[in-house]
Amino acid sequence: MSILSGKHILLGVTGSIAAYKAADLASKLTQAGAQVDVILTGAGEKFVTPLTFQSVTGRRAYTDNDLWGNEAHILHVTFGKTADILVIAPCTADTMAKLAHGIADNLLTVTALAAACPILIAPAMDGGMFDHPATRANLAALQSHGVLVAGPAEGYLASGLSGKGRMVESVEVLGHIRNVLGKRGKLAGKKIIVTAGGTQEAIDPVRILTNHSSGRQGYALAQAALDSGADVCLITTPTALTPPVGARVVCVKSVQEMLDVLINESADALIMAAAAADFRPKQVAKEKMKKRDGIPQIELEAAPDILKIVTSSPLGAGSGSPAGKKRFKVVVGFAAESQDLLENAAEKLQSKGLDFIAANDISAKDAGFAIETNRITLLFANGTQEILQLMSKTEAAEKIIEHTARLLE
Ligand SMILES: Cc1cc2nc3c(=O)[nH]c(=O)nc-3n(C[C@H](O)[C@H](O)[C@H](O)COP(=O)(O)O)c2cc1C
């Protein structure tokens, strides 16, 4: 998570039952390499102690005592100037009201008023409190002041009732923080489409023909593109993964569905990380094939070649861009091969007119499908190569996004 590495994050914790989630958030941010300074309100301290945060961040946590302590006035001004972002999670109705009206009566609210950095809040409260016209007006005021808001989510509330007011989970707050920090990255203002997962070709209403792709590499690419400030569209087949916060997600199943979506899209770059089927059943049985009818003979046909079709069909009139213009300025492919890796990848690079291809040796135990690491060689259209040693799919994604950004410069 290089986007968070070395970043100075101020985490405000207010008096909500959801304050326990802030400890997890502080821990995740610290593990990702951020310097996390926590400020608790008096009510926040009733729910979690400064010691909890000191233990997970390795830094002292601040309370209202520090507002009147030795560092006094310097503290809030310094924090407000040096932080990359002020995150208030959970944010109570009370703190929202104070922030909306410029009230600065504790260390957190005085810091927020002095802050020159972006402010992100994750509201947490009972559904009735969130729905109250006063809270709604405060939320609208905060948004009009440029404060960013994560959630709240629908679901079980501490009151025992269900409704909208739950603080979003820490991993989602983390996603919002990444979006804010990435805003001015190398891909700011660029649109990137990433495809992910293994396509599913129906045999009958019950059975499918698919592959082992987990979608991990594609999702990591979408996250890395977001971290670089891109506007990301993730076209994904069903996976067990949670899409990164901020991506526009389009769900598809078959190669045809993926093609139907892509043919209506244009972007600065297309990264085809999905494992799209080469073959599909020629006929899809209308009813479930029954065992009693014997072993079926399933005839296959070639599935549409998505890359070939979308790269050879320029934009038409009415697509929002000049007709005849290339659909994608940069196209990146993946070649998952079990033999003759580089030869096969080079052939695909050339035949599909790609800018570069990530050749992926799926015969290696520590690379390829459904695991966290990958061993990739990048082959470029100009004939150069770059071998990426064994690394996490996140790191591999960051390298691929760096090259994509370089080609778009
Ligand atoms: C057990 C308990 C749970 C509370 N949970 C919330 C909550 O989830 N959201 C909220 O807005 N207020 C909640 N409150 C009320 C706030 O703690 C109270 O408004 C307090 O003044 C907030 O101060 P602060 O915003 O400075 O942290 C709760 C109070 C108690 C006693």
Would you list the DSSP string of 141-201? Answer: HHHHTT-EE--PEEEE-TTS-EEEEEPPPHHHHHHHHHHHHHTTSTTTT-EEEEEESB--E
- Listed residues 182, 211, 228: the one ending a domain: 182
What's the gap in Å between 101 CA and the centre of ligand 1?
18
In whole angstroms, give the CA distance from residue 356 to residue 330: 9
CATH code, domain carrying 356:
3.40.50.10300
The pLDDT, as a whole number, for residue 96 is 98
The verdict on 178 and 197 lying in the same domain is no
Residue 229 shares a structural domain with residue 102: no
**What is the reported pLDDT for 366?**
66
- 3-state SS, residue 340: coil
Taking the C-alpha atoms of residue 399 and residue 233, their distance in angstroms, rounded to an integer, is 19
Whether 39 and 122 share a structural domain: yes
More confident residue, 75 or 128: 128
Residue 359 maps to a domain: yes
CA of 112 to the centre of ligand 1 (A): 19
Count of structural domains within the chain:
2
Nearest-CA residue for atom 13 of ligand 1 = 16
pLDDT tens readout for residues 157-192: 777 777 889 999 999 999 999 999 999 899 999 999
**Atom in ligand 1 nearest the alpha carbon of residue 98:** 25
Average pLDDT over residues 58-79: 80
Confirm or reject: Cβ of 125 under 6 Å from ligand 1: yes
The answer to whether residue 343 sits within a structural domain is yes
160 and 305 in a single domain? The answer is no
**328 shares its domain with 371:** yes
Q: Which residues are catalytic?
A: 211
Q: Are residues 107 and 215 in the same domain?
A: no
Q: Are 328 and 269 in contact (CB under 8 A)?
A: yes
Q: Which of 182, 205, 222 lies at the terminal end of a domain, its last residue?
A: 182
Same domain, 178 and 211: no
Give yes or no for residue 123 CB within 6 A of ligand 1.
Answer: no
For residue 153, give the CATH number of its domain.
3.40.50.1950
* pLDDT tier for residue 360 given thresholds of 50, 70 and 90: confident
**From the CB of 15, is ligand 1 less than 6 Å away?**
yes
pLDDT, position 1: 54
- pLDDT tens, residue by residue, 209-249: 999 989 999 999 999 999 999 999 999 999 999 999 999 99
pTM: 0.89
Residues 115 and 199 in one domain: no
Tell me if 95 CB under 6 Å of ligand 1.
Answer: yes
Name residue 332's amino acid. Answer: V
Residue 294 backbone dihedrals phi, psi, to 5 degrees: 90, 180
How close is the Cα of 261 to the center of ligand 1, in Å? Answer: 46
What is the domain range of residue 307? 191-408
Residue 228, ligand 1, Cβ within 6 A: no
The predicted structure's pLDDT at residue 318:
46
Least confident interval from 69-78, 133-142, 227-236, 275-284 = 69-78
